Structure 1
C-alpha cells in the first residue's frame, strides 16, 4: 500500500486561490442553481476533451483547482475544465447535495445543472462530446458517482475520491449512516442502482477510485463499494488492483492509500499544493487519474501499491473499533453533510 509521510499530511495555510478560473458564460438550464467556472487553455484545438471537477465541502472551485493541479494538467495536456461550484444558499457548508433525491435524478436539480452545463460547454468551445470526464472529492466524489450513474451517456470516465457509491443515501440520516458505517450491499445490488438510474445500456464509463484507509469522515468501505458497483455494471473481472472487461481492458481501478485520512492525495508536483483536505502524501492522484482516462502519459508515482479492493468486514461492536472515535466521527459526519460548521 502507498504509505504517506505523516509530517506532510496536512497544511495549516489558508486554502490557495487560483485566478485562472473564469465564469462560464454559456447559456444553459440551471435547476440546481449552481455556479459554473471554467478553464480553457489558450489555443486549445477543436474536439479537445473536457474534465468536470467537483470540489468537496467547505471548498471552492478555485481552491480545489489550486490544490489538485488540474489547470496545470489541462494546460500541459490540452483539455478544458468545467468547475461546478456549490452555493451556501443550497448548502451551508458548500457540499454538493449527493443525498437529496431531487438533486440526484436525471433531469433534476444539481445533477441536471451539471449535465446541462457540460452540453453547453462542449457546444461553446467545440469540445469532443465523446471524451468528457468527471472527478470529485468527498461530497464532490459522491456527486461524481451521481453523474456517472445518471448520465453515463455523457461521461466516458470518472474518478471518485473519498466518496460514496451511487444510491448510498436518500436524506441526511441515511447519509450520516452511509458515510460512517455503510451497510454491506452485494455488487449486484450496487450495480442495479446504476442500471436503474437511466435507460443507458453501455458502453459504460471507466472509473478510478481513491480512498485513504484511515478516513474518519467517509469510511474506506465506501471506496470499495464504488469499485464493486462499477465492476458489476461492466461485468468486469478482478485482475490485481484493477477490474478488466471481456476484452481485457482495465475499466475500474481502486487505489487505497495506507495511513491517509480524508482528502485528495497529491505530491506537490504538476501544480498541486497542500491545503486543507489536499494531502501531500507523495502520490499525485490528478495526474494518475488523467493517465487512467487516456488524457496523459502514465507517470511513475513516488509511491504506489494499491490495496486490495474487496469489501472489508464490519466489526461486531463499532464503538470498540480502535480506528473510530465516536464523538469525533459524528462531528466529522455532520460537517461533511453540511449540517455543522
Structure 2
C-alpha cells in the first residue's frame, strides 16, 4: 500500500471545494463559511432576474431564477447557467455576460442556485452520485427547471443548452452525460469530466490530479450515465486557464478525451486558431466536418470564468472574484452553440482531404512534407500538432525553427477559393534529429529527485509536459520517455525508445 492520501495544497481562493473541507475540518469550516457569505452577497434580486417557484418536486432543494428578454417569442432557445462555489444566481447573472446575449440573440436564461443547506460553501454537489445522476437530487431539480421554462416561456426543447463554472462546470458535465436527450450543447468552464468523482476524497483527486484514463474509459462513463441506446450527443465547449491551480489544466485534457471519444472524432484537432486574451481554440469536427467539441485554452489565466468587460460586440461581463478579464467566453460559447442563428460552428469546406502526406526529410530543426494535390484547391493549410502553421499553394512544405529530438504531428487540409478548409488528411509524425529519446521507469519520488518530474501539492508531474503522474511517493511507479531535452511524457503503455 502507498502512503496515505495527503491533504491538498490550498490554492488561492480555495474555490471549488471549500464547502466540503468543512466536513473534514470543523474549525477551518467556520472561517470558510464566513468568507462564503461575504463573497456570495445578497440573494438574487437584481432587476430583470426573477425567482420562479413551484417548478417541480425539487428533490435537490435548489432555487430557480430566470432572465427573459421582453417580447421573447415562442420557440426561442434556453440557456441554463450554473454558478460556482461561494456564488449565487444573481452573482452569475451580474458577471457572466449571459444576459447581454440573451437580449442580442433572443433566448431565455435560467440561473439555478444552491445554498449552504446543500453544501456548506454553496457548491453544486457534482461529486455526489445522489445529486449528479439522472433522476436524482440536484440533477433532477435542474431538469425540472428546464421543463418549467419550456412550459412557461415556450422555449424550444430541441435548443436547450447548459453551462457552468467550476463546481457548476462539474455539474454541467454530469448533466450532459445524464441528460443527452435534454441538452443540445454544453460548456464546461474550469470544470471536471463527467463522473470523475463519487466522494469528497475523489473530488480532491480530480481537481489536483485527475485520473489518467483512456479516452474510451472516459467515454464509457458518459455512455453508462446516459439512457440506454443513446446515439445523439450534445456538442461540448471546454474552457480552461493554463495557470489554474484549483482545477488543474489536465482536467481540460481529460474532458477533451471524454467527449471526443463519445463523438468518435479522435483526439487530434481538425483545426486550431488564436483568439484574443491569449486563447487558443482547438476544434474537433464530426464526420460531416461540423464542430462537435471545442477546447479553449487561455494562457496564464487562473481559476475562474473568462470575461471581457466592455461594450464591444465580442465583449461581456464584469471582472471580479473568479471572473477574470481575458476573453468573453459567453460570446464564443453562444456562437459555438449557434445562438446567433448560423447553426453553430464554422461551415467546413467541401474539398476532400489530401492524400499521400509523407515526411520527406528532417534535420535538427526542420521537417519537410509532401502530399498529393486536390483538384480545385486554392491553397493548403499545414497543421502542426493541431495548430495551423502555414498556408501554401504548393504540395510541399518545409517547417523550420523546430526543437531538436522532438516528435511533431502534421496534417494538411485543402482550402477552396472562398477560404474554407476541408477535412484534414491523415496524420504523419516527423521527429527532428539531434536527440536520442530515452525511457525511465522509477518511483515518482525517484523521478523527481532525478529532475524528470516535479512535485506540487503532494503530487508528481512530468517535467516539460506537466502530465499528472499521481501521488509523489516511493510506492507509485511510472515510466517516462524523454522526447527532447528536459521534456518528458508518461509512457506507461509502452515506451518507443
Give the structure-1-normalised TM-score.
Answer: 0.83
1:250 partnered with 2:279: no
Displacement of 1:324 in angstroms is 3.8
Who is 1:279 aligned against?
A: 324
Q: Out of 56, 60, 65, which is 1:37 matched to?
A: 65
SS of equivalent to 1:82: strand
Distance across 1 between alignment mates of 2:316 and 2:103: 11
Which segments of structure 1 move beyond 3 Å, counting only runs of 4 or more? 13-19, 315-327
Is the 8 Å Cα contact of residues 40 and 86 (structure 2) preserved in structure 1? no
1:217 partnered with 2:261: no
Distance across 2 between alignment mates of 1:105 and 1:116: 14
Task: Name which of structure 1's ranges 17-26 and 73-82 shifts more when overlaid on structure 2.
Answer: 17-26
Who is 2:338 aligned against?
A: 294
Q: How does 1:1-341 map to 2 (within 5 A)?
A: 18-198=46-226, 199-237=228-266, 238-240=269-271, 241-269=282-310, 270-281=315-326, 283-296=327-340, 316=444, 324=456
Displacement of 1:247 in angstroms is 1.0
Distance across 1 between alignment mates of 2:283 and 2:245: 25
RMSD over equivalenced CA pairs, Å: 2.4
Is the 8 Å Cα contact of residues 152 and 200 (structure 1) preserved in structure 2? no
SS of equivalent to 1:23: strand
Displacement of 1:223 in angstroms is 1.1
Distance across 2 between alignment mates of 1:326 and 1:284: 34
Distance across 2 between alignment mates of 1:163 and 1:14: 20
CA offsets 1:180-213 (integer angstroms, 9 cap, x no match): 1112000000000010112252321000000001
Q: How many residues are paired up?
A: 301
Larger Rg: 2
Task: Name which of structure 1's ranges 197-206 and 91-100 shifts more when overlaid on structure 2.
Answer: 197-206
From the two aligned structures, give the one with the greater helix fraction: 1
Distance across 1 between alignment mates of 2:65 and 2:55: 13
Give the structure-2-normalised TM-score.
Answer: 0.57
Displacement of 1:28 in angstroms is 1.3
Distance across 2 between alignment mates of 1:20 and 1:55: 18
Displacement of 1:66 in angstroms is 1.2
Distance across 1 between alignment mates of 2:455 and 2:145: 41
Q: What 5-or-longer segments of structure 1 have no aligned partner?
A: 1-12, 299-306, 310-314, 328-341
SS of equivalent to 1:255: strand
From the two aligned structures, give the one with the greater strand fraction: 2
Displacement of 1:135 in angstroms is 0.2
SS of equivalent to 2:221: helix
Question: CA, structure 1 residues 58+15, in 2 after alignment: closer, same or farther (shift >3 Å)?
Answer: closer
Question: CA, structure 1 residues 147+125, in 2 after alignment: closer, same or farther (shift >3 Å)?
Answer: same
Who is 1:10 aligned against?
A: none
CA offsets 1:68-91 (integer angstroms, 9 cap, x no match): 111111011100001110111000
Is the 8 Å Cα contact of residues 287 and 296 (structure 1) preserved in structure 2? no
Distance across 1 between alignment mates of 2:162 and 2:250: 21
